[in-house]
Structure 1
Amino acid sequence: MVHGANATLVSVRRRDTATVPGTDRRRHGDVLLAVVAGAFVLAQLVLVRPWMGLGWDETVYVSQVGAQAPPSYFSAPRARGISLLVAPIASWSTSTALLRVYLAVLSGIGLYLALRVWRGVFPSRVLAGAGALFASLWVTLYYGPQAMPNYWVAIGALVCVGSFLRAPANPWGIAAGAALMALMRPTDAVWVTLPLLVLAMALRHWRLLLALFAGLALGAAQWVVEAYLNYGGLAQRLHDGSRIQGGLGWNLAVDDQMRSLVGRTLCRPCTGSMPHPAITAWWYVLPLLAVLGLLVAVRAGRTARTLVTLACAASTAFPYLFLIGYAAPRFLLPAYALLAIPVADALRHLVTAPGGGWRPLATTLVALGLAGHLAVQYSVLERTVTRSTADRQAWERTAADLHRLGIRPPCLLTGEESLPIAFYTGCSSAAVSGPNKNSTPARIREDARRIPVAHLVPAHGGPAGYARDWTPYGIDGIQVRIGPAAEDGGP
């Protein structure tokens, strides 16, 4: 490892000229990070509300370890990391509120530990500012307490990249961060670590390369083994995952991501007009501040570490901006987490005079800009939470109506939104086409003679062929066809 003025990109063990020495100052920095993490937890509990029901993808992950319903079909792109994360609660409790509180607290702890890894790489005030910027995004607040993997990929990215920049002092951190990402979303882990792998090989830092490969292998091991057991091999699972995501290939999805900023948790197909400029303004400002952060780093002697951080942010964002034909705001959470650090460095430079005092005019302008930004973020968050809560309450009402029609465990649901509604009803779900295909019409007809089966008819379509002769009912604004076993038992 090379030291001194000509240090390599990963040789940052030397004292950072902007890092404040002294035990008391380090403790003060830890307190700042703890305050940010605590505020993040509190904001989740107040703004997202623990009683918001589980979403579509959440029901898939929770059902793998919970007792509320049989395990939902687990499609090829998914990984079981989030199911392991929720198992300590979901394995014995069906309380969504308890699960939300658990995940909110855990997400705050994760943010604190991930930012703490960066001590000595960037000043504590920059890290606290970065944490506040990342934690105040509506998408971060919305997904922090949810049983979804993307936030935890972001935490793993912070741990892995921060540990890499502190090398060789923290190879265990590199491995742990890479393992966490691979456990949650293996393909995302590869994209995040790609610049680190290239850099470690180019500079022949074999210990760092070994730590990266070990972490990726450890985190992805279960996913790879499962590929050979249940999906026809690793290549087939990757192929199926690509197909389910619409086929990976060159596709400009930047505009799709911008449309999703209005609070569309899944923008597929992503059509319609662009959101109001006030909603998308921060996206235009973000790259400008990132470039300013790089210029600040050049003057402060942090060029290498900032370049590495920006490279990893760009790498993880690349497939979701240019390789898929739809968008979801949560896909970019790892990129936002990494970009927050140079952006916070840029903002600190804007408001701080050379002597350490405040620049009054710049401070006022930055404060006004951040206030407007927060107002927009929380407005989007409130609408998104309200809409999501209403959708999930509708699923609960449908489940209650199905119970009154005799659809009770053991039971099976098919058709429109059958997967999440099956979870609320306590049933299994089946599909004969699409990304969750796990059955055939003949098998469903056979099941309908043995157990209660209901087919949820699409709003703009007719019933499936296997359910045309079943008894129709209307519940909560939708049509349901009830199979013969349920009819024999009576509603």
Structure 2
Amino acid sequence: MHECPPLSPSQKTPAARPSPRASGPLPWLTAVASVFAAVQLAFVVPGSGLAWDETVYVSQVGGNAPPAFFSAPRARGISYLVAPVAALTPSTTALRIYLALLSAAALVLALWIWRKVLPTPVLVGTGALFGGLWPTLFYGPAAMPNLWCALGALAATGWVVRALREGAGPTETAGAGVAVALVALMRPADGFWLALPLALAVSVVPGRRLPRMCAALVGGLVAGCAPWAAEAYVRYGGLRARLHRAGEIQGGLGWNFAVDDHLRSLAGRTLCRPCDIGWENPATAVWWVALPLLTAGGIAAARRAGRGATALLATATGLSTAVPYLFLVEYAAPRFLLPAYALLAVPVAEHVAHLYARTRHSRRPAGAAALTLALAAHLTVQLSVLSHVVRISHATTAEFAAVAGALNRLGVRPPCVVSGDHAVPIAYYAGCASRQTDGHDASITPETLHDLARRVPTAVLAPQGGAPPPGAGGTRVVPLPAGRGPGPHRTYLLPGPATGRPAATGQSS
């Protein structure tokens, strides 16, 4: 069958529209989101603590400790998102529940935008495929920006597709601009790589150029990046200086082939830096290797249904958001590719829906059973990796809390300062400020730290067997609890208020 010219008015045919039977996707989408939230609440939230990056974001707006040092690459969007809860209570459980429910609602909203261009089975498949990935489930209740970039990318692309298909009304224009602004507020670089293909699509498609939509996309990008840029001038001496420092912290931006790193990290590595590990469990990456074939099959299926241009734009935008993490950054984390997974779920869902319809219409139970088994196996692998990641995360944050409790018993109590190895999360759990004398989070000199120790209890953490901190003379050295997270530690209690207090039971190694 020959498809009509991409995105032309003649594409508005009954074959390109959802059937009347599929005109009410909201109950189905709500069901998918309910399962998405339920899995988070049942398997991820209970017993969880805040990870390193989360303590930085949450401490900016409340939580348990003074604001941690905010390094150059970070943006404050996620801090704004968690502020309504973090400002009211330091409870991690309350924050997790809030984010789990909010992410489920946002998933419904992002998919609802597509209801005029995709049939219900494809919409539901998109939500189920994306929501069933272990990184999506793990970061749903997390105070991290990547899932929100993914949902914003899905929403922005949906608004643009609607505009190209049916015209750019005020709703589509404003919606696309707001969605891009949300992504840029969370991660400015992600906002750029999202807006780029969308702006090209509304600028170069013959006969369907939408200058207002292009302006909205660019305006949304600028608005979302504005706080980050303003802070660059206040704290870093300009935008160029902050970009340079951000690049240094990320190991330098340039040609870095990280595809294999991402492949290995799918076994359950939330951060693979440096990614010099072996391929621990190849079964966890089968779906990732098959993703290009599934996407191509979905584009072909969508083309036969009159939705080829929609699938192509979703694919192109998804690939664009993946480019910097696959080829420009020298390390890997599964969360980096969440925007790409959200958008590639659209053509993959087209392919799965086509396979299901074909096996059903041909009355081939074997084909339907094979498809069901493949999807069940995929979901089983995702839940297995999720269980592993949650277990490791809980063990790590429990050790952070144990070390913080030991410091509190040693007299390092608020107001206090913690420096050294793993100081950022441990200081958060102890209720202290974190101040580093070197590294990415350097914010104080050793001399100033010693001066500060004369006024408030101050501890410097060092790994067992590691070198003592500069100027450690006169300090009291105490071993701290060991575990699966940061490992055995010693603390150097600097001369000052903390050293005059008696050591307690938390001194055992």
TM range (shorter): over 0.9
Contact 2:18 2:118 (8 Å CA) reproduced: no
1:146-225 matched pairs, under 5 angstroms: 146-167=142-163, 168-169=168-169, 170-203=172-205, 204-225=209-230
For residue 490 of structure 1, report the CA deviation from its aligned partner.
4.3
For residue 16 of structure 1, report the CA deviation from its aligned partner.
5.8
Cα 1:446–1:208 change in 2 (3 A) is: same
The letter of the residue matching 1:344 is A
Q: Output the CA distance in 2 between the equivalents of 1:124 and 1:215.
A: 29
The answer to whether residue 315 in structure 2 is matched with residue 310 in structure 1 is: yes
For residue 218 of structure 1, report the CA deviation from its aligned partner.
1.8
Instruction: From 21, 26, 43, give the equivalent of 2:23.
Output: 26
The letter of the residue matching 2:344 is L
Query: What secondary structure, in the 3-state scheme, does the structure 2 residue paired with 1:462 have?
Result: coil
Q: Which residue is 1:46 aligned to?
A: 42
Cα 1:335–1:292 change in 2 (3 A) is: same
Q: Give 5+ residue unaligned stretches, structure 2.
A: 483-488, 504-509
Q: Output the CA distance in 1 between the equivalents of 2:270 and 2:10.
A: 39
Q: Which residue is 2:395 aligned to?
A: 390
Q: Which residue is 2:507 aligned to?
A: none
The answer to whether residue 78 in structure 2 is matched with residue 66 in structure 1 is: no
For residue 372 of structure 1, report the CA deviation from its aligned partner.
1.0
The answer to whether residue 10 in structure 2 is matched with residue 8 in structure 1 is: no
Instruction: From 240, 244, 247, give the equivalent of 1:242.
Output: 247
1:142-171 residue CA offsets vs partner (Å, 9 max, x unmatched) = 000000000000000001000000011411
Query: What secondary structure, in the 3-state scheme, does the structure 2 residue paired with 1:353 have?
Result: helix
Instruction: From 283, 287, 296, give the equivalent of 2:292.
Output: 287
1:384-423 residue CA offsets vs partner (Å, 9 max, x unmatched) = 1011101101111111110111001111111110000000
The letter of the residue matching 2:342 is A
The answer to whether residue 328 in structure 2 is matched with residue 329 in structure 1 is: no
Instruction: From 121, 125, 139, give the equivalent of 1:129.
Output: 125
The answer to whether residue 499 in structure 2 is matched with residue 487 in structure 1 is: yes
For residue 445 of structure 1, report the CA deviation from its aligned partner.
1.1
Instruction: From 433, 437, 443, give the equivalent of 1:432.
Output: 437
The letter of the residue matching 1:194 is L
Q: Output the CA distance in 1 between the equivalents of 2:361 and 2:244.
A: 55
For residue 5 of structure 1, report the CA deviation from its aligned partner.
4.3
Q: Output the CA distance in 2 between the equivalents of 1:363 and 1:264.
A: 34
The letter of the residue matching 2:306 is G
For residue 276 of structure 1, report the CA deviation from its aligned partner.
2.1
The answer to whether residue 450 in structure 2 is matched with residue 453 in structure 1 is: no
Contact 2:265 2:332 (8 Å CA) reproduced: yes
Query: What secondary structure, in the 3-state scheme, does the structure 2 residue paired with 1:131 have?
Result: helix
Q: Which residue is 2:136 aligned to?
A: 140
The answer to whether residue 18 in structure 2 is matched with residue 17 in structure 1 is: no
Q: Which residue is 1:267 aligned to?
A: 272
1:241-282 residue CA offsets vs partner (Å, 9 max, x unmatched) = 111110011011011111111111110111121132211111
The letter of the residue matching 1:26 is S
Q: Output the CA distance in 2 between the equivalents of 1:15 and 1:475.
A: 69
The letter of the residue matching 1:395 is F
For residue 488 of structure 1, report the CA deviation from its aligned partner.
2.8
TM-score (norm 2): 0.92
Q: Output the CA distance in 1 between the equivalents of 2:380 and 2:302.
A: 30
Cα 1:356–1:177 change in 2 (3 A) is: farther
Query: What secondary structure, in the 3-state scheme, does the structure 2 residue paired with 1:391 have?
Result: helix
Q: Which residue is 1:381 aligned to?
A: 386
Contact 2:64 2:431 (8 Å CA) reproduced: yes
Instruction: From 310, 313, 320, give the equivalent of 2:325.
Output: 320
Deviating more after overlay: 96-105 vs 223-232? 223-232
The letter of the residue matching 2:190 is D
Q: Output the CA distance in 2 between the equivalents of 1:251 and 1:383.
A: 29
Cα 1:358–1:42 change in 2 (3 A) is: farther
Q: Output the CA distance in 2 between the equivalents of 1:417 and 1:113.
A: 38
Query: What secondary structure, in the 3-state scheme, does the structure 1 residue paired with 2:490 have?
Result: strand
For residue 49 of structure 1, report the CA deviation from its aligned partner.
2.5
1:353-406 residue CA offsets vs partner (Å, 9 max, x unmatched) = 298566423221111111111111111111110111011011111111101110
The letter of the residue matching 1:488 is G
Cα 1:178–1:432 change in 2 (3 A) is: same
Percent identity over paired residues:
47
Q: Which residue is 2:420 aligned to?
A: 415
TM-score (norm 1): 0.95
Q: Which residue is 1:93 aligned to?
A: 89
Contact 2:411 2:457 (8 Å CA) reproduced: yes
Q: Which residue is 1:108 aligned to?
A: 104
Q: Output the CA distance in 1 between the equivalents of 2:10 and 2:71.
A: 42
Cα 1:30–1:487 change in 2 (3 A) is: same
How many residue pairs were aligned?
485
Instruction: From 75, 84, 107, give the equivalent of 2:80.
Output: 84
For residue 329 of structure 1, report the CA deviation from its aligned partner.
0.4
Query: What secondary structure, in the 3-state scheme, does the structure 2 residue paired with 1:450 have?
Result: coil
Q: Output the CA distance in 1 between the equivalents of 2:410 and 2:403.
A: 11
Cα 1:241–1:16 change in 2 (3 A) is: farther
Cα 1:460–1:104 change in 2 (3 A) is: same
The letter of the residue matching 1:19 is R
Q: Output the CA distance in 1 between the equivalents of 2:278 and 2:473.
A: 39
Q: Output the CA distance in 1 between the equivalents of 2:128 and 2:160.
A: 23
Q: Give 5+ residue unaligned stretches, structure 1.
A: none
Contact 1:431 1:438 (8 Å CA) reproduced: yes
Contact 1:114 1:159 (8 Å CA) reproduced: yes
